């Protein structure tokens, strides 16, 4: 059952988003500072609510005055909801929350921590039955400790609300460090267990592993294959070792270009055998060659048949890989972030002569610096 829509109020630059429809592919484009990252981090907020890390998340983001739209003097609450809908049915699950800034000290408490079920799930109307999940009046949600059927459904989704970013490719990058051999339950947001995760796929899903290697070879012709196994001197550690084509020389992550390393992480994320229900990626095109961006677009479209994809991008080339229906324009108007989903049919005449990326460059779509 995929996400149907979200609604955000008083979160950073977002005063009131209105209902934002979430499709199989959701590509956010807009100028710097428009609020794309704030949209993406709404899902991060939900993930931290689920994990009972709201206090830590609030501190990490500058406390409640920085999280509220124009601060606590202007906004008296931070709230939102997320609604889920089966592919061939009506909306029948949702989560609603309302956070109130503490009057003494810092942080928030929950005024609402609600799980909703649509009693008209077999029809087209909505009549919601809400139940308190246990967090009302508390500093943390009780979703994780609630055993209602609707809570179990929400937990399965919220656990996957991770924001992947493979930006750091410096010498000290998490992507380049040796991994604990058994740190492979899921791919981490920064790719810090990439080698261990690939090692697991090699052993448990060899066909998927071969597909990942094939995808990498398609953009890095020098790459032959991985050589993943526990280190001979320290079996508790695995390195991202690989073999160059036409050579018997082995290399590791430090010998890969920034773009190649990022593409390996992206290919692993999007081609893994058991995809998360939702995949959220911040600027996946960073450092990629134009051909690699085209391949990335194909991987995203393939993954979207099993997972909902949400990405933010500044790449005209990546935008060209999708349809207008996939695009959400993000802009700042009247001191707030506004969202508008594009429509393929309405742009039909334009698309006869221009690509989607060209329409963005020409500011036909909006989402360009003013």
Question: Which pLDDT belongs to residue 88?
Answer: 73
Of 291, 330, 244, 355, nearest to 27 by C-alpha is 330
pLDDT greater than 70 at residue 369: no
Mean pLDDT in residue range 358-363: 87
Band of pLDDT at residue 341, cut at 50, 70 and 90: very high
Alpha-carbon gap, residue 51 to 44, rounded angstroms: 11
Alpha-carbon gap, residue 328 to 26, rounded angstroms: 7
pTM: 0.95
Alpha-carbon gap, residue 155 to 87, rounded angstroms: 19
Buried b (16+ CB within 10 A) or exposed e, 321-358: bbbbebbbbbbeeeeebbbbebeeeebeebbeeeebbb
Alpha-carbon gap, residue 260 to 266, rounded angstroms: 10
80 part of a folded domain: yes
152 part of a folded domain: yes
Higher-pLDDT residue of 357, 303: 303
178 part of a folded domain: no
195 part of a folded domain: no
Question: Which pLDDT belongs to residue 368?
Answer: 74
Q: What are the counts of helices (DSSP H) followed by strands (DSSP E) for the chain?
A: 11, 18
Assigned token pair, 116? 């909703």
- Mean pLDDT taken over the chain: 94
30 part of a folded domain: yes
Buried b (16+ CB within 10 A) or exposed e, 78-105: bbbbbbbbeeeeebbbbbbbbbbbeeee
Band of pLDDT at residue 363, cut at 50, 70 and 90: confident
Instruction: Give the C-alpha distances (Å, rounded to integers) separating 158 from 48, 154, 300.
Output: 9, 6, 21
Question: Which pLDDT belongs to residue 1?
Answer: 60
- The length of the chain is 370
- Give per-residue pLDDT as tens, 1-36: 699 999 999 999 999 999 999 999 999 999 999 999
- Give per-residue pLDDT as tens, 162-177: 999 999 999 999 999 9
Our count of domains for the chain comes to 1
107 part of a folded domain: yes
pLDDT cut 90: percent of the chain above it:
85
Cβ neighbours of residue 74 closer than 8 Å, sequence gap 6 or more: 68
219 part of a folded domain: no
DSSP 12: T
Q: Is 33 helix (H, G, I), strand (E, B) or coil?
A: coil
Question: Which pLDDT belongs to residue 179?
Answer: 96
209 part of a folded domain: no
The CATH number that applies at residue 153 is 3.40.50
DSSP 230: B
- Give per-residue pLDDT as tens, 118-134: 998 777 789 999 999 99
Band of pLDDT at residue 245, cut at 50, 70 and 90: very high
- Give per-residue pLDDT as tens, 39-86: 999 999 999 999 999 999 999 999 999 999 999 999 999 999 999 988
User: Residue 65: which domain range?
Assistant: 1-162+323-369
Band of pLDDT at residue 370, cut at 50, 70 and 90: low
């Amino acid at each position: 059952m995929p996400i149907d829509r979200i609604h955000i109020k008083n979160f950073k630059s977002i005063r009131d988003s209105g209902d934002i429809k979430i499709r199989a592919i959701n590509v956010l484009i807009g100028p710097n500072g428009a609020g794309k990252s704030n949209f993406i981090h709404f899902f991060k907020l939900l993930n931290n609510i689920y994990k009972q890390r709201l206090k830590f998340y609030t501190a990490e983001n500058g406390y409640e005055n920085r999280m509220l739209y124009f601060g606590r003097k202007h906004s008296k609450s931070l709230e939102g909801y997320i609604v889920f809908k089966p592919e061939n049915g009506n909306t029948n699950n949702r989560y609603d929350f309302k956070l109130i800034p503490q009057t003494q000290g810092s942080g928030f408490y929950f005024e609402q921590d609600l799980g909703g079920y649509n009693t008209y799930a077999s029809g087209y109307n909505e009549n919601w039955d809400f139940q308190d999940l246990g967090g009302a009046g508390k500093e943390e949600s009780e979703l994780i400790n609630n055993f209602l059927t609707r809570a179990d459904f929400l937990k399965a989704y919220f656990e996957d609300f991770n924001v992947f970013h493979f930006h750091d490719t410096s010498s000290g990058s998490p992507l380049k460090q040796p991994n604990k051999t058994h740190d492979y339950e899921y791919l981490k947001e920064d790719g810090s267990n990439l080698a261990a995760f690939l090692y697991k796929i090699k052993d448990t899903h060899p066909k998927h592993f071969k597909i990942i290697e094939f995808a990498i070879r398609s953009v890095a012709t020098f790459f032959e294959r991985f050589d993943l196994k526990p280190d001979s001197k320290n079996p508790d550690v695995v390195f991202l070792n690989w073999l160059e084509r036409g050579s018997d020389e082995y290399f590791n992550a430090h010998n890969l270009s920034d773009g190649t390393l990022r593409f390996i992480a992206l290919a692993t994320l999007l081609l893994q055998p058991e995809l998360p229900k939702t995949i959220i990626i911040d600027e996946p095109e960073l450092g990629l060659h134009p051909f690699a961006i085209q391949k990335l677009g194909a991987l995203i479209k393939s993954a979207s048949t099993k997972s909902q994809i949400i990405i933010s991008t500044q790449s005209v080339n990546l935008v060209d890989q999708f349809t207008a229906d996939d695009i959400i324009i993000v802009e700042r108007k009247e001191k707030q972030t506004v969202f508008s989903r594009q429509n393929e049919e309405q742009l039909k005449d334009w698309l006869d002569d221009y690509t989607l990326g060209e329409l963005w460059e020409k500011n036909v779509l909006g989402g360009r610096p003013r």
